[in-house]
Structure 1
């Protein structure tokens, strides 16, 4: 090691380790990208079946198992919801692995609900994580507005695409609407990005749309928001007005 190189501190190494929620959000991004690629390949004219998706599918199956190990290592309190989350993620790993041995059409069916499965269970694990933590440790909140947090969840679910026509930009969402103004604010914060021409057209024969996905910074921000309690607004204290004595009350009534 040279004189100008420094050894990372134990604290830096600790914070560089992704949390299970971050790993699940990253997995959701990867499944959306995988399914988009299959969709475009299946819609392409004169396309011939190939196995380009197989390597990606096997990597995703391995990543699901990695996420399961990370959740297990958290030692969360057992619950029915957490048990179901484990089961559904194991099923997803099996489906992703199986899809690698099928042609693109059948493979796409096997991973059709992959992003939804990951996100549904990410929210369950986030809730269980929040319940297991001392809320006083995170009373400062996540730094995201409710609207931005909601938009990031929709984007993580693979619901949001963007496009433009006649010089005007717009968004489309299969879930809750994410306005273009919100998307631009999130882009300005480097929390989301658009990848040109990676999502199916809005209509048959139309141009490919731009998939909106979380950036690494967006993954970190949303994971923090999901595992921190919402800020609680308390009413301002109002000084009490002293009650009138019985004699005063009698005098006022005369």
Structure 2
């Protein structure tokens, strides 16, 4: 047995793909916005310095994501160019938010998670055009329901609460059932962070933010990098064909 070179004695973590990096960026913005919301809910608009370090980290992470995308040297389609411009805007807004009080700072990053998600989808599509489809993460080929739920989670749109011994899931766009959430958690695709999301109303309890795990991020990135499923040819004639056939009889 040969001994590996000294510099290769330890495993080196595989860096995230550009699509994964953008999904992780969306999560960072969600966490940042949650922090600002919690501060605002407890009536601390004067806590100017609380978000400055986080805003700086977001700006740096966004620039890193831009570099990861441009390093792929993809064909600069209009869609890809616009995605890079949006990311540059996010970096600017994140940096600028550090110079403002909490209410304005929160407004500047309000749409950042959705913007990062949109860029992730665009980059995934451009990578697919250039290099063909990718495979799913091993053991985690997603159903349509899980795909939709993970996308909703990645955008910071899902929280969980409990009341009188029962658990509830709150979502914004795509419906996420408690059974679906439990399935995602059981498969290591999603996790809940207790009392990290702002309350649903002033004076209410903090909610549990649902976030993607590392495995969930990889699985979702692979899913959006696949080409759309093609439908099998239908054996049922279209109404126009059926009508024409009826006339010829």
Q: TM-score, normalised by structure 2?
A: 0.84
- Report how many residues are paired: 231
Q: CA deviation at 1:176?
A: 1.1
The correspondence for 2:213, drawn from 203, 212, 215, is: 215
Select the structure of larger CA radius of gyration: 1
Determine the structure 1 residue equivalent to 2:247. none
Q: CA deviation at 1:24?
A: 0.6
Structure 1 residue 67 corresponds to structure 2 residue 72: no
Determine the structure 2 residue equivalent to 1:104. 102
Q: TM-score, normalised by structure 1?
A: 0.83
Q: For structure 1, which runs of at least 5 residues remain unmatched after alignment?
A: 237-254
d(CA) in 2 for partners of 1:140, 1:40: 35
Determine the structure 2 residue equivalent to 1:252. none
- Counterparts of 1:10-159 in structure 2, within 5 Å, are 13=12, 16-45=14-43, 48-135=46-133, 138=135, 143-159=141-157
d(CA) in 1 for partners of 2:136, 2:176: 28
Q: For structure 2, which runs of at least 5 residues remain unmatched after alignment?
A: 235-249
d(CA) in 2 for partners of 1:193, 1:6: 37
d(CA) in 1 for partners of 2:137, 2:169: 32
| RMSD between aligned residues | 2.7
Q: CA deviation at 1:105?
A: 1.4
Cα deviation, 1:31-79, whole Å, max 9, x if unaligned, reads 0000000001011146642302101101100111100010001111221
d(CA) in 2 for partners of 1:38, 1:218: 25
d(CA) in 2 for partners of 1:149, 1:111: 25
